[in-house]
Chains A and B, each alone.
Chain A
Amino acid sequence: MVTEKDVQHIAELADIGIDAGELGTFTAQFNAILDYFDVLDRVQGDGAGARDLINVMREDVVEPSLPQEDVLRNAPAQEGGFIRAPRVM
């Protein structure tokens, strides 16, 4: 059972802005969905025999990349060839 306070906390963790007016609906929906997810409690096994997964690595070599102007073209705020971001502190 999740509460409105839990949903508020999750929204903060995920940087999803949430309005007080939406909290009740989201909370009710989450409880219905999470109730359904409880069926996973019945899952038996340990996942062993998982397909033989391997890491696919490559050498860290310098390769041609996109021109700076192409990369910046979609950035809404720029300064001196860099992307401007909100302040962190």
Chain B
Amino acid sequence: MVLSEIRFEPDDRYNAFLTICRKAPCGTGPLAGVAVAVKDNISTKGIETTCASRILKGYVPPYDAHVVELLRQSGAAIAGKTNMDEFGMGTTTENSAFGPTLNPADTSRVPGGSSGGSAAAVAAGMVRMALGTDTGGSIRCPAAFCGIVGLKPTYGRVSRFGLIAYSNSLEQIGPMAKNVSDVSLLMQVIAGHDRRDTTSYNRPYRHTPDADIKGLKIGIPKEYFGAGVDKKVADVVQRALARLGELGATSVPCSIPSMEYALAAYYVTCTSEASSNLARFDGVRYGPAANTKKSWHDAYRDVRRAGFGTEVRRRIMLGTFALSSGYYGKFYAKAQVAKENVRKDFTRILADVDVIAGPTMPTIAFKLGEKSDPLSMYLADILTVPVNLAGIPAISVPCGKADGMPVGLQIMGRPFADERVVDVAYAYEQAVA
């Protein structure tokens, strides 16, 4: 119920927002009057929603995403829509059609992506909480790079109704905030069943974080400290794990052999799904007008060349190729077997341990423009994508600094054990507070 409104006039020097709602209605409830930022791929009735793409410039959704309905019911004020990599495709927020977001910890560096605007808005104190989406790390990566907390929920725990789809089988909406308690509170508001999303489970989240982790068994995969992981980042995370040991947890070495091909399986899957999902952007029902005098192929090509950025076009073409006759078996079908193997590896390990932990990202935040080659950008996702392939929950919590930049500790859990990963993150946070 709308009771009043808040005035939201942030100093957005980091380009975190694409739309700012200077007068935001709010109501009563657990988030009464709390300013919440919403990633711009989540539909907000009456508020422009662009996915940071020219092809959706000016699009105003006629309905709210399920999570936005829940936010409004909880009394929260939708403070604005945050910058992102176009359609979620990127690891830096540099792939926005409306300019990159800067990292509040060091403005010469990226905030991570694709939910970089949400992370920067929280890190800079412009909002207390934000929603992001995580297809292959897009909540956890910017949380780690900006020094905040971000949770990728179990697949199916939060409705995707109204999320503008990029890769349906992998993505989830999730909470971001400066501390674990606020992440948990926002998760409580957005989780639950919605019949408009057929992958939605009836598993509400009602939980208050508990810092007691005595007797907890933590799996430490050697792959998370192997080649490609910066030594300084690995050292910071090892110290955090030692701290969890002091709190009563036991570390157990383990291995995820399927990580050898997890990243390839992820990119084949997400580009394939993107090539299908993004076929709807043709300038007919929304977006810049297609020339109705031209034949439809010509008209659509004109709109899509002008409306999509380079990375989006690259991924649509890669996915089209991976699904094309003669290559489907080599790429898409193999990727689905690989995905199942990743899930089995996690199931096997999580039968013996309560959670798995390691770094969220292999490095600290990149310099702006540092990752100009697409493959080198993709490789940065190696530690986050396995979680999406397995459909399990994972949280990134700040655990110190390397070269003056924030480092994230990633805690991964069993399906629907989101509460457990939240508790472990909370235990760490309280211990170092």
Contact = CB atoms under 8 A, between A and B. Distances in A.
Contacts of A51: 343, 391
Contact of A88 (B289, B291, B296): B296
Interface string A31-75: 011101101111111111111000010100000001000110111
B62 A37 contact: no
Given A40-B265, A40-B330, A86-B299, A10 B324 contact: yes
Contact of A74 (B59, B282, B306, B336): B59
Nearest to B336: A47
Contacts of A26: 314, 317
Given A37-B264, A84-B292, A15 B304 contact: yes
A: contact size bracket: 35 or more
A71 B60 CA distance: 10
A33 B318 contact: yes
Contact of A86 (B198, B295, B321, B374): B295
Contacts of B296: 85-88
A1 interface: no
A20 interface: no
A33 B321 CA distance: 12
Which of A17, A19, A86, A87 counts the most B-chain CB atoms under 10 A from its CB?
A86
A43 B268 CA distance: 14
B288 A76 contact: yes
A51 to B, nearest CB: 7
B275 interface: yes
A17 B283 contact: no
Given A15-B297, A40-B264, A76-B288, A30 B318 contact: yes
Nearest to B335: A40
A13 B324 contact: yes
B338 A43 contact: yes
A43 B284 contact: no
Interface string B262-280: 0011011000000100010
Given A58-B195, A70-B62, A73-B62, A87 B292 contact: yes
Contacts of A87: 292-296
Given A39-B261, A40-B338, A66 B63 contact: yes
Contacts of B264: 36-37, 39-40
Contacts of B286: 74-76
Contacts of A16: 301, 304-305, 308, 313, 316-317
Given A43-B334, A43-B341, 4 more contacts: A13-B324, A16-B304, A41-B334, A51-B343
7 contacts: A10-B320, A15-B300, A16-B305, A16-B313, A43-B334, A66-B62, A88-B295
Interface of B: 58-60, 62-63, 195, 198-199, 260-261, 264-265, 267-268, 275, 279, 282-302, 304-306, 308, 313-314, 316-318, 320-322, 324, 330-331, 334-338, 340-341, 343-344, 373-375, 378, 391
